[in-house]
Every structure is written in structure tokens, then in C-alpha cells.
Amino acid sequence: MADGFSLDVVARDGQARASRLTTAHGVIETPAFMPVATFGAVRGISVEDLQSAGTQILLSNTYHLHERPGEETVEALGGLHGFTGWHGPWLTDSGGYQVTSLSDRAKVTEEGVTFRSALDGKKRQLTPENVIRIQESLGADIAMVLDECVRVETGDEGRTNPDRVEAAMQRTLRWLARSKAARRRPDQAVFAIVQGGASESLRRRSAEETAALDFEGYAHGGLGLGETRDERQAAVSVANAILPEDRPRYLMGLGRPVDLLDGVAAGVDLFDCVVPTRNGRHGLLFTSEGTLNLRNAVHARDSNPPDPECNCPACRLHGRGYLRHLIRSGEALGSRLAALHNLTYYMSLLNRAREAIIAGTFASFRAEIEEVSERRI
Amino acid sequence: MADGFSLDVVARDGQARASRLTTAHGVIETPAFMPVATFGAVRGISVEDLQSAGTQILLSNTYHLHERPGEETVEALGGLHGFTGWHGPWLTDSGGYQVTSLSDRAKVTEEGVTFRSALDGKKRQLTPENVIRIQESLGADIAMVLDECVRVETGDEGRTNPDRVEAAMQRTLRWLARSKAARRRPDQAVFAIVQGGASESLRRRSAEETAALDFEGYAHGGLGLGETRDERQAAVSVANAILPEDRPRYLMGLGRPVDLLDGVAAGVDLFDCVVPTRNGRHGLLFTSEGTLNLRNAVHARDSNPPDPECNCPACRLHGRGYLRHLIRSGEALGSRLAALHNLTYYMSLLNRAREAIIAGTFASFRAEIEEVSERRI
């Protein structure tokens, strides 16, 4: 285990759990959501904004930082903590998902992933070893292994061939062993990634073999890529039943409020997604009354706050009519305030989920949010 | 005079003066800079940010708000104060400058300015009367008259014909009388605009006839459009010698720190310009050590704050290397932090100018800033 890294489960309610995750840069009360700071900043949102929203940990994208400004520059400026001024916990992804999602430019071999840079067109390679090395330079509290990620459903051809899904799962396991051997930093935790598409049996095998390699935490990868909600729920549950209870579990890249609560119900501790910030830019706000679409004309002369129960700057200082105007005018303040509202909503949602788990009322809380999420304003 | 509107000069140093300008929504200590909130927001900067920078009054663009969301909507939501959440003083321009600066689409007649909307391509007309009416709906504390503005220097043809400059000055005077007759709101001050290009004699005549019409304040228009620095200084000085001492004077659309101090030296009280926000977006920061260009490679691994004497969020929380990275990555937080830094610098600059006027040391302060402004970092 990395120095000073531990998970203490403080309450359980069904499979859901509330925990304290201790990292080198602070304690995270889970379940917790990680805003995505692609280039080391969350799209116009400041460190002080993130603190006011209740953020506990940030995620940054290794591939983007490797391209610009480069991990040596980040390291020279004190790693992600010193570089960005966010001195709480950081997690970095491995870059593999970004690269393989540009699939026509990426080629996966046993050695790693080869692709052409979107920045300068030059050839680059990510390997299990060099993504560990890059992330050690970036200095996050939690690094992710390189994995091979395949879509469950491809748009044109339907379901991906099961042999292809299994081969990717097996390759990910071989890469896990190489990742582990490449580690040097005693103060950085590394999370392994479970693969296996929408197949329960592949997810089970992947979880068993991954858990045997003994990482500080485990992620569910390759989901939100075409599987049904039930399939996703089964894939996460079957793996969580195998993964050790004393290690954090992270559902990668999902998603909407109901997706987060599905994950919590299946025993997940950590989440990340661009949905709150991206939807905010488009004028879609999550509120205690349902999903508010600021682009609807009905809001043009509405001076009510987006969410009467929220205390973020948008809801404290502004009305729907003004925010709608900013979004429609392409004024940067509109995206900023809407994204910050959504992040505040996500933090509050998982905080309330935690309280419900402790109180033993998670199922009814989840049902209430599911009902609210279906309302359109 | 509009209700509750007054100017009290509290100190003089040469032609420079320090005053207290009382408006319906608060007192402004002058000389003062007005950040430009084109659509009712300053490019990604929040009300709380503006307060922290020391902002006393905001400017918004009548033409842009007329097009979107329309003055009726702004009025229905409580005017600019209620609409935006900035409850301090507001000034709105007349829209004339925006329209005539799109000169190939605008046609000026005695009635007003006809043009095609950039938003929907439809024909629109601004007249002295309807710009007063629109601004009364917007509800700013200070409205501006419609003026005809001609460039001193045109790129292709050299200097604008003196007859053309005089005709625009004379038309502006006729429009002033119509603007005055159109006024209805007793709680809104209206400022007239002096024209006359780079000609001292035209500026003198314009100031005399404008002052005779008795407005709450006076602006210098049509400058920063090709004249030399000496010509501009003479144009402002000759008019200020005529304009009444107990009315505020506003130099429209200028500019860099040295331009502001030139104006202060000539007795100007109010300024606006997009330079601090636009330069910020491009990574150009005004500092106590000179002009910092964050795009220079020398800053890539510099952890020093942009300006060690500044207490804005960028300088308090971040280093040059990180801000450079954000600007180069097109990350919205970079533009926001850099623009807020420049606004903070402008507010501090004019606050220090005010203190120097009161102390009788304005000339040496101006010389010091002129010297610093020439340094490049």
C-alpha cells in the first residue's frame, strides 16, 4: 500500500457504503464525485469556486497534460498540487481512454497504444510503464493503470465480438502486472481497472485476477459505452462482490445523477464525469425540482433562482432570466455559473447519499432522486 | 439635474481632480474606471469578482442589450440592477459607436442611424429619441446621447476631410437638443458628447455649444481613432477648460494605463475600455513591474505570481507558469483570471492616482507609471 493511503468503511446500507478515504493530501468522505480538470483546471472554475462547491478531490487527464505543458513542467512547478494551486487530493487517469476513443488514430499492440498527437501530428506511444512514469511526474495522489477499453456497442456493427472483449480484458490483466512492476513512488496509490464489457462472467474473471494483483484501489472501466442500465448494474455488482472490502472502488466516466446513485447502490465510492460541466455550458441545470433547461423560452422573464434550495453563486445572486440570457449570448459567465451550480448539485447529492447510507435510508433517497430527475422544467 | 445626482470636487492637482460622484445607486470616487459588461456581464467575471477588484461602476452596451434580450426583458427583470445582480451604479452607451463602427452596414441621416442587425439581418434604426427611450428601459444611472462619430484617420484615405468632421460635430449638436427633449426619467442622468475630431477649434466650439445645453455630465467622443497622443491631449484639454467644473467628464473608450493618466492629467473623471479584459485573454498583464506577456517561453516554469504587489486571485493563488499554460490551452479559467488581474490593476491605478492628486504628487506618479508601462516582461 502507498504511504498514508487507507479506506475505512464507516457505514453500510445494502451494498451501498459510506467511507473515509485517506490520501497523502487529505481525507475524502465517500461516496464522492471528482470534477474533471482536463488541463489542470475545471473549465473556467477557480480553486476557490471548487472549494465553495464542496469539492474533495479533482481528476486531471494525463494525456492532455503530457501534450501540454508536459509532465516535466508540471513536476518542476511542484506537481499538480503546486502547479494548479489545488492542494487537496488529485487523481490522474492513464490517458488510455482518451487515446483509444480516438480509435481511427490509435493502434493497440501488446507493447502499448500508438497514435498520432492531436497537437502536432507526431507519433506517440503510451505503454503501461510510461503512463506510470508520467503520472509519477504529475504527482497525483492516485494514478490509474493503462487499460484496453472496447465499446460494448459500436454504432454501425451492433455488439462488439465477445472474443474481442475477452482479448482486451486479458491484455488489460497483462498490462496490470507490468504497471505494478513499473511503480517507484511510495506516496502514490495506483488503481487497477476491471474490464469485460457487458459480460458478467468476464467481469467476474477480470475482478478475480485483478484483485489478486493487490492494488490500492479498483475501477470499473469500459462502461457507459453502449450497455443497458441493467447490464451495467450487473457488471459493477458482480465485480464489487469480489473486490476487497477495504479498497476504494471507482466507476469511471459516469454520469447523470441516477447513474451515480446506481453506482452507490452497487457499492461504488468514487465517480467522475464531464456531464455537470458540459450540461451547464448548454444551459441544462440539475435542481431539486428537476432538470432545468434554461434555453426554454418560458424562463426568459423569470427572476427566480435556478434552484431555490441551492446556495451556489448562480442561485444566490441571479435569476433564471439572466442566466438564460448569458447562455444564449455565449457570455462566458453563463457557462461558468451553470457549471458551478451543477457541480454544487453533484457534491450535495453524494453528500446526501452518504447521510442516507449512515441513516439506513438510502433506498428511499435513491427513489426520490430518480423521480425528481425525470421532471423537466 | 437628475434626482440625487451630483459631483463634488474634493482635490485638485494641476488640471487633475479627485471627486465624489453621487448617483442613484451609490457614490463613485473619481477618477474611476468602468469595466465593460457588453451583454450585462464582464466576460466570465462575476459580480463578486468585480467587487473584490474594487469596481465602483459598470458600463453596458445598449445596442447589444437591445438586440438580446431586448430592453423590455431587462426592464421586466428590474432593469440592469435587478437583471444582472450588480446593484451599484451603471452607465449605458447610446449604441451609436457600435453601429457606426460597422460602417459598411450603417447609414447616417438627419433622422438617425439605419443599419442591418448582426443578429438577424433585419433593418434597425437608432435615433436620438429611441436610444433615450431604450436606455430609460434599461434603467442605468447614467445614459449617453446618440452622437455621430467619425474616424480622425481612416486606414486607406489618410485624414478624414475637415468638412466631414465638422458636419458630424454639428449633427451631434442637433441630436443633443432632440435627446434632451426626449428625456422622461427624473432618476437617470444623461451625458452629452463633445465631438470635433483632432481639431482644437472644432472641439472648442463643440464644448461651448454642448455645455450651453446643460447636461448632467459630458463625454469626449471620437478619440482613439487615429489622432496622435498630443492631438488627443489638446482636444481633451481645450474642451475641459470650457465644460462646467461641477459636472463629470468622461473619456470614452480609452485605453491603456498611460492613456488613463493622460486623461486624468487633463481633468477627466471617468473611463471605460475593453483593453484590460481583451489583453488579459491574450495573456498580456499589466503589473507593477511592467507589461507581462505570459506567452513568452521564459515564463513556462516560473512559479512567481504575475505581480508580487497584487492581491487578486491570480496573484494570490497562482504562478506565471500555470497561467501561461491555461492561456495557451484556451482554458477559460486563464482568460478569467488574467482579465480580473488587469481590472484589479486598473482600479488600483486610478485609486493611486486619486491619492496622488489629494497629496499633490500626481505629476511624479504619472511619470513613474509611464516609465513602468514601457517595461516588457
The interface predicted TM-score (ipTM) is 0.95
Instruction: Tell me what pLDDT residue B53 has.
Output: 97
Instruction: List chain B residues with CB under 8 Å of A318.
Output: 84-85
B84 and A322: CB-CB below 8 Å? yes
Instruction: List chain A residues with CB under 8 Å of B79.
Output: none
**CA of A278 to nearest chain B CA: how many angstroms apart?**
13
Residue B159's pLDDT band (cuts 50, 70, 90): confident
Interface of chain A toward chain B, CB-CB under 8 angstroms:
38-48, 64, 68-69, 73, 76-78, 82-85, 300-301, 303, 313, 317-319, 321-322, 324-326, 328-329, 331-337
A84 and B322: CB-CB below 8 Å? yes
**CA of A2 to nearest chain B CA: how many angstroms apart?**
28
- What mean pLDDT comes out for the span B179-189? 96
> Which of A300, A289, A251, A292 lies closest to A369, judged by CA?
A289
**Contacts for A45-48: CB closer than 8 Å, 24+ residues apart:** A45/A277, A45/A336, A45/A339, A45/A340, A45/A343, A45/B333, A46/B313, A46/B317, A46/B333, A46/B336, A46/B337, A47/A84, A47/A85, A47/A86, A47/B317, A48/B313, A48/B317
A78 and B329: CB-CB below 8 Å? no
- Is 70 exceeded by the pLDDT of residue B104? no
Who has greater pLDDT, B154 or A110? A110
Instruction: Tell me what pLDDT residue A69 has.
Output: 97
From its phi and psi, is residue B345 left (phi > 0), alpha (psi between -120 and 50) or beta? alpha
- Is 70 exceeded by the pLDDT of residue B363? yes
**CA of B345 to nearest chain A CA: how many angstroms apart?**
20
* Residue spans of chain A under pLDDT 70: 100-104, 155-157
B83 and A322: CB-CB below 8 Å? yes
Residues of A annotated catalytic, as ranges: 93, 272
pTM over 0.90: yes
**CA of B270 to nearest chain A CA: how many angstroms apart?**
25
**Gap between the Cα atoms of B346 and B337, Å rounded:** 14
Q: Please name the residue that has the C-alpha cell 506577456.
A: B293
Instruction: Tell me what pLDDT residue A150 has.
Output: 84
Residue B101's pLDDT band (cuts 50, 70, 90): low
- Is 90 exceeded by the pLDDT of residue B240? yes
Measured between CA atoms, the residue of chain B closest to residue A327 is B39
Instruction: List chain A residues with CB under 8 Å of B46.
Output: 313, 317, 333, 336-337
Instruction: List chain A residues with CB under 8 Å of B335.
Output: 332
- What mean pLDDT comes out for the span B277-297? 97
Tell me what the pLDDT averaged over chain B comes to.
95
Residue B102's pLDDT band (cuts 50, 70, 90): low
Instruction: Tell me what pLDDT residue B316 has.
Output: 97
Instruction: Tell me what pLDDT residue B68 has.
Output: 95
- Is 60 exceeded by the pLDDT of residue B103? no
Q: Under a CB-based contact definition with an 8 Å cutoff, are residues A328 and B332 in contact?
A: no
- Is 80 exceeded by the pLDDT of residue B317? yes
Instruction: List chain B residues with CB under 8 Å of A50.
Output: none
Instruction: Tell me what pLDDT residue B350 has.
Output: 98
Q: Does residue B276 have a cis peptide bond before it, meaning omega lies within 30 degrees of 0?
A: no
Who has greater pLDDT, B96 or A333? A333
Who has greater pLDDT, A152 or B355? B355
Q: Across the A/B interface, how many CB contacts are shorter than 8 Å?
A: 129
